[in-house]
Amino acid sequence: MSESVGFFTKACVVLVLLCGLHLIVALIFYLSESPLAKFRNYRHISFISDMVNSQTHGELGQADNETLDVAVYKRIYNNETVIIGDVEKPAEVLESCPETSPLLVGQLRVEFSTPVDFNLVRQGNKHLTMGGRYTPTKCVALQKVAIIIPYRNREEHLKYWLYYLHPILKRQLLDYGIYIIEQDGENTFNRAKLLNVGYAEALKEYDYDCFIFSDVDIIPMDDRNTYGCSSQPRHLSVSMDKFGFRLPYKQYFGGVSAMSKKQYEKINGFPNNYWGWGGEDDDIFNRLSIRGMRISRPSAEIGKCKMIRHGRDRKNEENPQRFNRNAHTRQTINTDGIRSLKYKVVNIEKDLLYTKIRVDIGKP
């Protein structure tokens, strides 16, 4: 009897020891696994369950085709072969786009002798989504850019602008949207106020961090002139054919310019009370220098632009008050700008190539 009790006790002790050993070995294995390896296993399991799900629903698509997305995916997950099928790849898999896009070609031929047609431009830009939006698919864009164009009665120019710019902006790997801000009615044109409206309206749609303010008749002649923002406000139309391919004067900030949200907010946006032609761009320059910013520019070669020739628009005569207004930017910068902007949206049109917003901005 006592013999069998002794044997039973020994057997229990051995069993307890074996359990302890098993526990220790399991613990060592668990702790030695890196977090990445654990994540990888987790992803693996989740992909398998995704596959099972899609198979049960009969939706499994083409497996493992070697697109760039798949290649990036494999590299990040240690070259583990997984069948991807139609499973949407997680956003964090995409890397940031490079600072300098490898798709750029440099100098471009720009001419306005052959008319362009909206439908042809749409057909040539099938990569866009409604509202003139594009996001790179193989990498995460460095900037979210809203391009704002003040507009009235310039359809011919708009067609050229869209025809030339969409392919350039795509090659520049920008996450961008095009906003045409059309002044409603027949009152005197107000470029800067329309730009303010564009800023406010674009931000209602998306978390843009960079804003390009462009005239509808200016086309860049080199795709290395990035339509993006820098640490300082940037002037992009630095050597226009109209001015003999150089700056008309050192403080010139008209045509095409770029400002981050932070830079724009720092100057309270643009003045709302420049009705008619001229001076508003100089006021913006004054605002930037009052707030201690400097203008950055591309080189004269990269900054080459063509302007579509045209006569002076009706209801955009020279503003005789521009000299006086310009002399008082310091007094108006805080009271007149984006913080005091008032307007009424009349209509919003979503085209594949652009978002056109018609606005009532009042009169002088």
**Residue 283 to residue 252: CA distance in whole angstroms:** 10
Strands 144-151, 239-240: pairing kind: unpaired
As measured in angstroms, the least distance from the Cβ of 297 to ligand BGN is: 15
**How far apart are the C-alpha atoms of 270 and 279, rounded to whole Å?**
12
| Least gap, CB of 283 to ligand BGN (angstroms) | 8
Phi, psi of 218 (to 5 degrees): -115, 125
Q: Which stretch binds ligand BGN (CB under 6 A): 132-140, 163-171, 176-184, 274-282?
A: 274-282
Window 83 to 102, contacts with ligand BGN (CB under 6 A): none
Query: Binding marks (x or -) toward ligand BGN, 319..338, rule CB under 6 A?
Result: ---xx--x------------
φ/ψ of 85, rounded to 5, equals 60, -140
**Considering the complex, what minimum distance in angstroms separates the CB of residue 256 from ligand BGN?**
12
Taking the complex as a whole, how short is the minimal distance between the CB of residue 319 and ligand BGN, in angstroms? 8
Binding segment (CB under 6 A) for ligand BGN, from list 77-85, 156-164, 273-281, 307-315 = 273-281
Residues carrying an active site annotation: 215, 217, 277, 280-281, 307, 310, 312
Under rule CB under 6 A, residue 281 binds ligand BGN: yes
Binding flag, residue 282, ligand BGN (CB under 6 A): yes
In the complex, least distance from residue 317 CB atom to ligand BGN, rounded to whole angstroms: 12
Work out whether 188 is an interface residue with ligand BGN (CB under 6 A).
no
Binder to ligand BGN among 248, 262, 291, 328 (CB under 6 A)?
248
Select from 97, 98, 93 the least CA-distant residue to 78.
Answer: 93
Among 132, 150, 177, 278, binds ligand BGN (CB under 6 A): 278
Shortest CB 333 distance to ligand BGN, Å: 16
Residue 195 corresponds to which tokens in the numbers above?
Answer: 């730009």
- Residue 50 vs 282, nearer CB to ligand BGN: 282
Which one among 271, 279, 298, 337 touches ligand BGN, defined by CB under 6 A?
Answer: 279
Distances, alpha carbon 108 to alpha carbons 130, 255, 358, in Å: 27, 19, 32
92 DSSP 8-state letter: G
- Long-range CB contacts (within 8 A, 24+) of 184-187: 184/346, 184/358, 184/359, 184/360, 184/361, 185/360, 186/315, 187/275, 187/315, 187/362, 187/363, 187/364
Burial of 155 (0-12, 13-18, 19+ CB in 10 A): exposed
Contact 155, 167 (CB under 8 A): no
Q: Which is nearer to ligand BGN, 150 or 254 (CB)?
A: 254
**Binding region for ligand BGN (CB under 6 A) out of 82-90, 278-286, 292-300, 356-364:** 278-286
Q: Does 254 bind ligand BGN (CB under 6 A)?
A: yes
Tokens at residue 110, please?
Answer: 């720009």
Run of H or E residues at 4: helix 2-32
Q: Give contact residues for ligand BGN (rule: CB under 6 A).
A: 248, 254, 278-279, 281-282, 322-323, 326
